[in-house]
Amino acid sequence: MGSSSASAGALLHHVRTGRARSRAELVALTGAARNTVSARVDQLIAAGLLEEGGRGWSTGGRPPTLLRFNSAAGCVLAVDLGVTSVDVAVTDLSAQILATAGHPIDIAEGPRPVLAEVDRLAQQVLAEAGLTPADVCAVGVGVPGPVEFSTGRPSHPPIMPGWHDFPVPSAFGRYGCPVFVDNDVNVMALGEMGVAGSVQDVLVVKVGTGIGCGIIVDGGVYRGAQGSAGDIGHIHVPSADGREVVCRCGQTNCLEAIAGGGALLRDARAAGLPVTTTRDVVERAAQGDGVALELVRHAGRTIGTVLAALVNFFNPHRIVMTGGVAQAGVPLLAGIREAVYGRAMPLAARALEITVSEAPDLSGRIGAALMAIEGHLDEDSVHQALAR
């Protein structure tokens, strides 16, 4: 969306993301005529999407009336579907969580039983927030596999047996609103950008059971030709001891087969640690267990060698680590930084920031909400809403 556009949708976007807080700032930002901006702002106020707040600071003359986005103008459902658990939240139109609930699932049971559980949780959170299905403006769903974004159908997902080509939006028919479905890592990437968005180029790397990467270009998700951009878990890496590790995709020595959460658990048990889940390994590392620390750090180094190549190729402003294994924090980051700064070209690495997400467990829900909100408040939808 060009900043010169002064459509109602564009003006709403500027206020919603904090880029403008008054009619005068909207005029300055868009270069549009003052009366054009005023007329469209009045329409947005009449539609309940903008509100007039107090008075701003004056630069001489009458102080401007402040505008703010009415985030209570509707709500969205946000669904963060994982391999072993699902979280459903209802949020306002600024992605503030009003109510949320989660439950263990097994994604391999297939779409019908899993989406029935999602439906139950959705009704639960709406009831808890005092809302009804009629209040829901849009639904956002993140799933752990590749998705054809335009139809919301998973596409040959390696860890979601029975889900290929299933029309996920059909499970949300009772809400009578648009449903947006994307790969979980793309959704988390949106969550990391937050409501204000970003104009940066960023890699959001999820290290959970598998490994994936959300690619943000100029602040928007980059999906590639078929929607599979960022599938870095299946880049080939040599293993340290020369052994061949078979990945669940059928190839050998994929990054996630050597450094993902499943690999971490496997190697920890082989080293004699009494652990039953990846989370156990991460917790032991957090408590300073030497063996667990070294395993996490080693996984970081392996992931870092792939990220170094991505940094040379993509030259991002920053890399954000998220997902269950990223909750290990410092040792994972140390391994990643060691490899990236050691191998990336100096120019690309010079100003690069590598951080761990501030809320790795929340970014999936916030991102799903933002995807739904962006869809609900895009240019065309706002135009249609005002026409009504």
Q: What are the tens digits of pLDDT across the range 330-383?
A: 899 999 999 999 998 888 888 899 999 998 889 999 999 999 999 999 888 888
Confidence of residue 63 (pLDDT cuts 50, 70, 90): confident
- Measuring CA to CA, which residue among 112, 201, 186 is closest to residue 149? 186
List the domain boundaries for the chain: 8-69, 75-185+363-387, 191-360
pLDDT in tens, 214-232: 999 998 899 888 778 898 9
**Residue 259's pLDDT is what?**
95
CATH code, 8-69: 1.10.10.10
pLDDT in tens, 172-203: 999 999 999 999 999 999 999 987 777 899 99
**Residue 1's pLDDT is what?**
43
pLDDT at 388 over 80: no
Query: What's the CA gap between 187 and 177, in Å, rounded?
Result: 19
**Residue 77's pLDDT is what?**
98
**Residue 2's pLDDT is what?**
41
pLDDT at 253 over 70: yes
**Residue 199's pLDDT is what?**
83
**Residue 59's pLDDT is what?**
65
Q: How many Cβ atoms are within 10 Å of 242's Cβ, its own excluded?
A: 6
Amino acid sitting at position 60: G
Q: Is 203 helix (H, G, I), strand (E, B) or coil?
A: strand
CATH 3.20.10.10 fits 75-185+363-387, yes or no: no
Cα four-point dihedral sign 307, 288, 273, 104? negative
Percentage of the chain beyond pLDDT 70 is 97
Confidence of residue 26 (pLDDT cuts 50, 70, 90): very high
Is the pTM of the predicted complex or chain greater than 0.85? Answer: yes
pLDDT at 3 over 80: no
**In Å, how far are 87, 111, 165, 187 from 116, measured between CA atoms?**
13, 8, 18, 22
* CATH pick for 191-360 out of 3.30.565.10, 3.30.420.40, 3.40.50.2000, 3.90.550.10: 3.30.420.40
Query: What's the CA gap between 113 and 105, in Å, rounded?
Result: 9
**In Å, how far are 188, 244, 343 from 315, measured between CA atoms?**
20, 31, 13
Would the CATH topology of 8-69 be identical to that of 191-360?
no
The predicted model gives 238-242 an average pLDDT of 83
pLDDT at 4 over 60: no
